[in-house]
Amino acid sequence: MKVLVPVKRVIDFNVAIRVKADGSGVERTNVKMSINPFDEIAVEEAVRLREAGIASEVIAISIGPRECTETLRTALAMGADRGLLILAEQDIEPLTVAKVLKAVVAEETPQLVILGKQAIDDDCNQTGQMLAALLDWPQGTFASKVDIKNGRISVTREVDGGLQTVDLKLPAIVTTDLRLNEPRYASLPNIMKARKKPIAEKTLADYGIDATPRLKILDVREPSKRRTGERLGTAADLVGKLRQAGVI
Amino acid sequence: MTILVLAEHDNTALSETTARTLACAGQIGASIHILVAGKDCGAVAEEAATLSGVEKILLADDPLYQHALAEPLAELILVLAPSYDAILAPATANGKNVLPRVAAKRDVPQISDIVAVETPEIFLRPIYAGNALQRVEAKGFQKIITVRASAFKPVAKANAAAPIESILPARDPRLSVFQNEVLSQSERPELTAARIVVSGGRGVGSKENFALIERIADRLGAGVGASRAAVDAGFVPNDYQVGQTGKIVAPELYIAVGISGAIQHLAGMKDSKLVVAINKDENAPIFAIADYGVVGDLFEVLPEFERALDNAGKPA
Ligand SMILES: Cc1cc2nc3c(=O)[nH]c(=O)nc-3n(C[C@H](O)[C@H](O)[C@H](O)COP(=O)(O)OP(=O)(O)OC[C@H]3O[C@@H](n4cnc5c(N)ncnc54)[C@H](O)[C@@H]3O)c2cc1C
């Protein structure tokens, strides 16, 4: 069975975000970019499935500018077998991404698509669910454990009250939570090998999907800053302050 | 504008996030219906009917909805969807799970996790773990929105209860089956509804040591939270996690103990009214957003804090 893993190129999670003064967005020039951490977990899970003999091939796919090739190379170095880059210059909405992925699913016929539960840039948490809807597939979101047997997949999900396990018919969609696995570091030989793995290239136009955003982003602002606080010497001082503030 | 709000509940009681989502809905339009889907959840519908600003409750009481599985629940919402200008759900695990499925089927984008309504078509939402706020306009299509409940005050109780209308279940897509759930049992206030939250991080060191955090929490009637590092290390269950990818809280008082203050953690608590940090590293980033900071070893500061609370409680 083939597994498809979409990967997004985002500002590295360690970078301090700066909002542009003109309100047009956040600073992206000369900023370290990385694979979205949740997608890295998705790649790891797919590679483990192949290593366990459950998956036959892992295909990484990225939609965005040419630089997404680097993101795909990261996935290939971790063990994905081949890549697909779909060139798109503009920012595209999760629903559009889901539509493109649906078209790729029709071409590649995977039994499983594993996505990150959210991208740490727009924090939308939508794409996997939307893809599941468009395909009429079941979804196991926010997964912390997956188990595939006899054409079905059991997914343990991180929910508000604890953990919920659902049993889904394959083909299915899984979105990853942080505790699904700990992604490996790609070894140097694997990074070298990844350079030789194939990356096919397409454009959004090849899929005939209108990528015009429907939500209009009016501007991006700095959140209000908290005022600097006070250092207190002892826990007794703290209790005094909290009483004064009337919170305890 | 006619708005449908998806109720968050556990088949027994209504979550406060529903009343908060309702407050948000009230800023978008005036005619609001609540959908209560579940099993043997009549009491939840009755509770929802008492919330201010609700015109009507739609009750879908069927085993199909017992566990809020996304596939059948989306089908149900889709049956109702054509009658509404907007569909809202709190950005809880359930809301985030089901609503994008509805949006995709309706062929409209979803607006995730809004924290303010500027006009009925312009919304504010945090991006980059709350390090930036995006102002988005949704014009000319149905609005499908998840709401960051902590950003809205719950609506009050109404004088008269709204009518409850039972509706039929929708088609069962037969794609998913509930297997089991492991829910944290706690007498403490639920994290997102608690007036005070005490959270522990990696600095707490072990599951056993977390009792120190819990003791303070119980002393204050607080909810207990944790950083990702504390959850990953197995000190506490996953549903304690506060942050960008965990729960978002905004209590009156948030006490962070042995938590460094990574942006992903701050994302979940920096809108708390008062923040207290207890950390032995005076350069820990958490101090930059704390109203009150105590630099020190938590194993000394917490017992001292407890004693000071006891003393302060005594009449002079
Ligand atoms: C994609 C992604 C999503 C994430 N989502 C979240 C999230 O939702 N929530 C979250 O919390 N994190 C999240 N993280 C992780 C985050 O980046 C940090 O790694 C995490 O918050 C660190 O937890 P911590 O502060 O407990 O641990 P550390 O950073 O290790 O800090 C421990 C602190 O304890 C202090 N300490 C140690 N011993 C003592 C003592 N005896 N007395 C007093 N102080 C002591 C230390 O000085 C230190 O400041 C995410 C990361 C990624 C990449």
Residue B57: what residue type?
A: I
Beta carbons of B48 and B36 less than 8 angstroms apart: yes
* Cβ-defined contact of A160 to B112 (cutoff 8 Å): no
Which amino acids bring their CB within 6 angstroms of ligand 1?
Answer: A 13, 37, 120, 178; B 201-203, 227-230, 241-246, 258-260, 262, 264-265, 268, 279-281, 284, 297-299
Q: What is the chain A residue with the closest CA to B186?
A: A161
Q: Is the pLDDT of residue B316 over 50?
A: no
pLDDT digits (tens, 9 = 90+) for B80-107: 999 999 999 999 999 999 999 999 999 9
Which letter, b or e, does each residue of B232-262 get, where b requires 16 or more Cβ atoms within 10 Å of its Cβ? ebebbbbbbbbbbbbbbbbbebbbbbbbbbb
Which two structure tokens, joined as six digits, stand for A176? 């990853």
Nearest to A8, CA basis, from A123, A144, A146: A123
Q: How far is the alpha carbon of B238 from chain A, nearest alpha carbon, in Å?
A: 6
One DSSP character per residue, B280-307 reads S-TT-GGGGG-SEEEES-HHHHHHHHHH
Percent of chain B with pLDDT over 90: 97
Gap between the Cα atoms of B81 and B89, Å rounded: 13
Query: Which CATH homologous superfamily contains domain A2-244?
Result: HUPs (3.40.50.620)
Question: Tell me, what's the pLDDT at B185?
Answer: 86
CB B51 within 8 A of CB B159: no
The residue among A202, A7, A12 whose CA lies nearest residue A88 is: A202
pLDDT at position B315 is 53
Contacts of A240 in chain B (CB under 8 A): 312
Rg (chain B; Cα; Å) = 21
Q: What's the mean per-residue pLDDT of chain B?
A: 97
pLDDT tens sequence across B32-54: 999 999 999 999 999 999 999 99
Give pLDDT tens digits for B213-261: 999 999 999 999 999 999 999 999 999 999 999 999 999 999 999 999 9
pLDDT score of B165 more than 50: yes
Best of A8, A134, A139, A160 to disrupt the B interface (most B CBs within 10 Å) is A160
Q: Evaluate if pTM is beyond 0.95.
A: yes
Question: What's residue A225's pLDDT?
Answer: 87
- How large a percentage of chain A has pLDDT more than 90? 96
Residue type, A77: A
Mutate which: B11, B66, B76, B101, vs A, most A CBs within 10 A: B101
Q: Where are the domains of chain A?
A: 2-244
Q: Determine contact: A190 vs chain B, CB below 8 A.
A: no
How many angstroms from the chain centroid is the CA of residue B82? 27
Nearby residues of B12 by Cβ (< 8 Å), 6 or more positions away: B41, B43, B44
**Atom of ligand 1 lying closest to residue B258 CA:** 34
- By the CB < 8 Å criterion, does A235 face chain B? yes
Chain B CB contacts of A243 under 8 Å are 312
* Contact criterion met (CB below 8 Å) for A49 and A55: yes
* Dist. CA B248–CA B110, nearest whole Å: 19
Residue whose token pair is 């879908």: B60
| Residues B59/B45, Cβ–Cβ less than 8 Å | yes
Q: How far apart are CA B23 and CA B17, in angstroms?
A: 10
Mean per-residue pLDDT, A100-121: 98
- Interchain contact, B232 vs A231, CB within 8 Å: no
pLDDT of the residue at A228: 81
Strand partners, B31: B2
| φ/ψ (deg, to 5) at A9 | -90, 120
- For ligand 1, the distance from its centroid to the CA atom of residue B262, given in whole angstroms, is 6
Distance CA B28, CA B119 (A): 7
Q: How far does residue A60's CA lie from ligand 1's centre (Å)?
A: 31
* Helix or strand holding residue B102 (H, E): helix B93-106
Q: Going edge to edge, which strands form the sheet with A230-232? A: A230-232, B292-295, B274-279, B253-257, B196-200, B223-226
By C-alpha distance, the chain A residue nearest B192 is A160
Mutate to test the pocket of ligand 1, among A12, A13, A121 (most ligand atoms within 8 A of CB): A13
**Pairing mode of beta strands B86-90, B56-61:** unpaired
Condensed to tens digits (0 to 9), the pLDDT of residues A162-220 reads 999 999 999 999 999 999 999 999 999 999 999 999 999 999 999 999 999 999 999 99
Q: Which of A17, A162, A242 sits opposite B253 (nearest CB)?
A: A242
Q: Say yes or no for a CB contact (<8 Å) between A166 and B177.
A: yes
Q: Which residues of A touch B110 (CB under 8 A)?
A: 94-95, 124, 126, 130
Q: Say whether B128 and A219 touch across the interface (CB within 8 A).
A: no
- Ligand 1 centre from B129 Cα, in Å? 15
CB contact set of A44 (below 8 Å; sequence gap of 6+) = A78, A180, A181, A182, A183, A184
Search chain B and give the residue with CA nearest A125.
B96
CA pair distance B300, B212, nearest whole angstrom: 11
Q: Among B127, B199, B209, B228, which is best to mutate for testing ligand 1, by the most ligand atoms less than 8 A from CB?
A: B228
Q: How many CA atoms lie within 13 A of A36 on its CB side?
A: 30
